[in-house]
Amino acid sequence: MNQNTDLLTLRSVSKSYGKVPVLHDIDLSIRDGEFLTVLGPSGSGKTTVLRLIGGLEPLTAGEIRLDGQDISRMPINKRPFNTVFQDYALFPHMTVSGNVGYGLSVRHVQRREIARRVAEALELVQLGRFADRFPAQLSGGQRQRVALARALICQPRLILLDEPLAALDLELRRQMQEFLKSIQREIKTTFLFVTHDQEEAIGMADRICVMQAGHIRQLGTPHELYYKPNCEFVARFFGENNLVAGKLGPVQGEQRPIETALGRLVCSISDQPHLKAAPDGANAFAAFRPEALHLADATEGDNRFSGTIADLAFAGSSTVATIAAGSDTAAQRLRLRIPSRIDGSALKAGETVSLSFAPHEGHLVLA
C-alpha cells in the first residue's frame, strides 16, 4: 500500500460508441491506496472511464495496465475490481447477507468462511442488524452501504464508485461522504469515485481528475485544482471564481502582470512553468476567488479597482455580493464573498466600493 506506486495505468485510451467518440486519448495513473475522484459535467466521459476500467465496456483503442500487466481484454468477472453502481443494483430476491456474500459464494468459498466475512463486512458498514432484511426493506442510505459492503468483501484491488451518492438527499450525502472516506482509510483500498459534484470531490478525494468533453483537463490535489487551475474550464468549473480577460505582461520573478479592463492585475505564477513560458501579449485570464477579494481603502496600487454593488445575497455564514466593475464598454461582473455579520452586512446595494486582492491569491489561466 504505497501511495507512490501506480496500481492502474490507462495509456492512450479512446472509446467511441459507433462513430461518436466519447474519450480521446486518455492517460491516467491511479496510485495504490489513494482516493481518486473523476469529476466532470454530464457527458464528459467520466462514467465511461469507470466502465472501461471495470470491464463493463470494451476499449476502442489504448490499453489498461494493472501492476504493469495489460488487462484491456480481461473479462469483467476476472478483474480484481468491484463496482458500487449508481442505482446500487442490489439483488432484490436476496437478503442483505445474500447480497454481500454473493461475490464469495460464486467463487465457491466455504459457507462458514462466507458467513464470517459477511458479518465482518456488515459490521464495517454498521448494518449488522439488517443481515436478514431484503433490499426493498432498507432506506436509500442503507442500500448504499450494502452495495459498498458487497463490493469490498472480495478484497478488490480497486473499488469503482459510479456517482453512488447522487440519489441521496443532502444531509445523508454529507454523512455518506464522511463514511466512505473513513472506510477507505480503514481498509486502505484504492477508490475510484466518479461524480459531477465538485463539493463532493473536494471533500473526499486525495486527488481529483477533472474531465470535460472526453479529455482530462487537470489531475491534482483539490488544493492544486482550486488555487492553480491550468485552464479556463477548470478555473470556472471547480468552485466559484472570478475570471477577467486580458493580455499577459512580462514575467516578474514568481509573478506576472496582466492588462485587463480593470487595469493592471498582478498574479502569482509559482510552480506553473507554462505560464512563465507564455509569450508577452498572450490572451489569458486573471482568476481570483470570491473570498480572496477584499474591500480596500485606497484606489491606487496593484490589483485595485472600483465597482458598484449590483446585488447582495445572504448565504448563511457568508454574504455574496455581485459587483459590476470596469468601464461601460468592458463591463465585468465579479463576486465578492465576505463573512456575514449579525447586525447586517456592511455593504449596501448601489454603493460604489474599492476592491483588491493580494497577488499571491490570484492566478492566471491561458485563454
Is position 107 an interface residue for other proteins (rule: CB under 8 A)? yes
Q: Which is nearer to other proteins, 102 or 226 (CB)?
A: 102
First to last CA, the chain: 40
Residues 325-354 that bind other proteins (CB under 8 A): none
Residue among 158 and 265 whose Cβ is closer to other proteins: 158
Taking alpha carbons only, the member of 10, 120, 19, 102 closest to residue 65 is 10
Answer yes or no whether residue 91 interacts with other proteins by CB under 8 A.
yes
Half-sphere exposure at residue 225, Cβ-oriented, CA atoms within 13 angstroms: 28
Q: Where are the beta strands (DSSP E) in the chain?
A: 6-17, 20-31, 35-39, 61-66, 69-70, 81-84, 158-162, 190-195, 207-212, 215-220, 242-248, 255-260, 263-268, 283-288, 294-295, 304-315, 318-325, 332-339, 352-356, 362-366
Grid coordinates belonging to 244: 477577467
Stretch that binds other proteins, among 31-39, 53-61, 211-219, 244-252 (CB under 8 A): 53-61
User: Which of 61, 85, 259, 318 forms a contact with other proteins (CB under 8 A)?
Assistant: 85
Rounded to 10°, the helix 96-105/140-152 angle is: 20
Closer residue to other proteins, CB minimum distance, 151 or 278: 151
Q: How many CA atoms lie within 13 A of 14 on its CB side?
A: 10
56 vs 366, beta carbon nearer other proteins:
56
Residue 76 lies near other proteins (rule: CB under 8 A):
yes
**For the chain, how many helices (H) and strands (E)?**
9, 20
Q: How many residues bind other proteins (CB under 8 A)?
A: 28
87 binds other proteins (CB under 8 A): yes
As given in the structure block, the three cell numbers for residue 32 are 495504490
Q: Are 104 and 172 in contact (CB under 8 A)?
A: no
Looking at 2, 4, 69, 78, which residue binds other proteins (CB under 8 A)?
A: 78
92 binds other proteins per the rule CB under 8 A: yes
Phi, psi of 216 (to 5 degrees): -85, 120
Interface mask toward other proteins for 291-330; x: CB under 8 A: ----------------------------------------
Stretch that binds other proteins, among 84-92, 119-127, 290-298, 331-339 (CB under 8 A): 84-92
Site for other proteins in 131-160 (CB under 8 A): 134-137, 150-151, 154
Which parts of this chain interact with other proteins (CB under 8 A)?
54-56, 76-78, 81-83, 85, 87-93, 102-103, 106-107, 134-137, 150-151, 154
